[in-house]
Amino acid sequence: MDYQTILNEIKTEVSPLLNEGKVADYIPALADVDPEQFAMTITLFDGKEYSVGCSDTLFSIQSISKVFTFTMALKLYRKELYKRIGREPSGNPFNSLVQLEYENGKPRNPFINAGAINVTDSLISFYKNDKITYEEILKFIQAISKDNSIKSCDEVASSEMEHGYRNLALANLMKSFNNLDNESVNVVKTYFKHCAIEMNTKMLSRSMMYLANNGTDPITKLEYITPSQSKRINAVMLTCGHYDASGDFAYRVGLPGKSGVGGGIVAVVPNIMGISVWSPRLNKQGNSLVGTKALELFTTKTGLSIF
């Protein structure tokens, strides 16, 4: 069965679920999205791309951006990065301060909020300036997605900032443990800015190529990171990519992936393809309900699990 047929089948099978779950509503800019949309794209190493649904519609990538900033920080700092951030699953809701306090301000992994804020802080320390840092993040995302039109949504970013007291608390707590270099407010602003970047499933699926191919874009042959770093990012996505449902995602889908509260998910079939899926309504753990189901159907139909 060809991939297009499989995607079409998936769209049919998930459509009865499109009214389940709940759109992220903590900021108006996210709450206002049409909730019953669905899109899915896969991209192969020869550049072939298969899509279904509204795969040209832009949405807020939110926590998916953490994969990109983690990639940049791992490239810059290598093992040094783990002095400030761990790589263990958190076993707790994604924004919990409890664990951060018990573990002396060292976030468990780069994909919980505290960890991603810390990664952003490490990038600001390298690029010396939060504006330049954001530009470098954007440039990197445009490069791996092969699309220079990608940009952040100012409305979402500033709306986040107005409601982002918990993230400020996380940043201040890390700062109280001397595990944040720059001013909390600037770090959190930059973090919200890259979370507010908007992409569609085509762009996101394309952006996963380097992680599917050991760090090197299989089409342009550009090497972004080493094979070892690429495998390790995939490992962190598998164990920590979906907050407190990471185990469930590994169990049901069986692929390294990362979700965002905007309803997007990226995933990687090592050596074969990049995938992205989008549907705004979230399950209880904060991951796209239909998106997770679509990926589960995909690995069931194709047998493309890593296990």
Judged by beta carbon, residue 35 or residue 270, the one nearer a copy of itself is 270
Distance from C-alpha of 69 to C-alpha of 244, rounded to nearest angstrom: 21
251: contact with a copy of itself by CB under 8 A: yes
Distance from C-alpha of 56 to C-alpha of 58, rounded to nearest angstrom: 6
Give least dist CB 88 to a copy of itself, A. Answer: 4
Parallel, antiparallel, or unpaired: how do β-strands 197-199 and 151-152 relate?
Answer: antiparallel
Name the phi and psi angles at 265, rounded to 5.
Answer: -140, 140
Q: At 66, is the secondary structure helix, strand, or coil? A: helix
97: contact with a copy of itself by CB under 8 A: yes
Judged by beta carbon, residue 55 or residue 214, the one nearer a copy of itself is 214
Give least dist CB 112 to a copy of itself, A. Answer: 10
> Among residues 275, 135, 157, 259, which one has the least CA distance to residue 208?
275
> Among residues 247, 210, 200, 201, which one has the least CA distance to residue 230?
210
Q: Is 272 exposed, middle or buried (0-12, 13-18, 19+ CB in 10 A)?
A: middle
Give least dist CB 69 to a copy of itself, A. Answer: 18
Q: Catalytic residue positions?
A: 63, 66, 191, 243, 261
108: contact with a copy of itself by CB under 8 A: yes
Beginning with the edge strand found earlier in the chain, give each strand of the sheet holding 151-152 in spatial order: 59-60, 197-199, 151-152
307: contact with a copy of itself by CB under 8 A: yes
Give least dist CB 195 to a copy of itself, A. Answer: 17
- Sole binder of a copy of itself in the list 43, 96, 122, 259 (CB under 8 A): 96
CB 74 within 8 A of CB 44: no
- Sole binder of a copy of itself in the list 99, 125, 158, 220 (CB under 8 A): 99
- Sole binder of a copy of itself in the list 13, 25, 101, 155 (CB under 8 A): 101
- Region near a copy of itself per CB under 8 A, out of 5-13, 40-48, 172-180, 190-198: 172-180
CB 214 within 8 A of CB 230: yes
Distance from C-alpha of 191 to C-alpha of 110, rounded to nearest angstrom: 12
Which parts of 178-217 interact with a copy of itself (CB under 8 A)? Answer: 184
102: contact with a copy of itself by CB under 8 A: yes
List residues bridging with 53 in a β-sheet: 39
Which parts of 259-278 interact with a copy of itself (CB under 8 A)? Answer: 270
Which residues form the interface with a copy of itself (CB under 8 A)?
86-92, 96-99, 101-102, 108-109, 165-166, 168-170, 172-173, 175-176, 184, 228, 230-232, 234-236, 238-240, 244-248, 250-252, 254, 256, 270, 300, 305-307
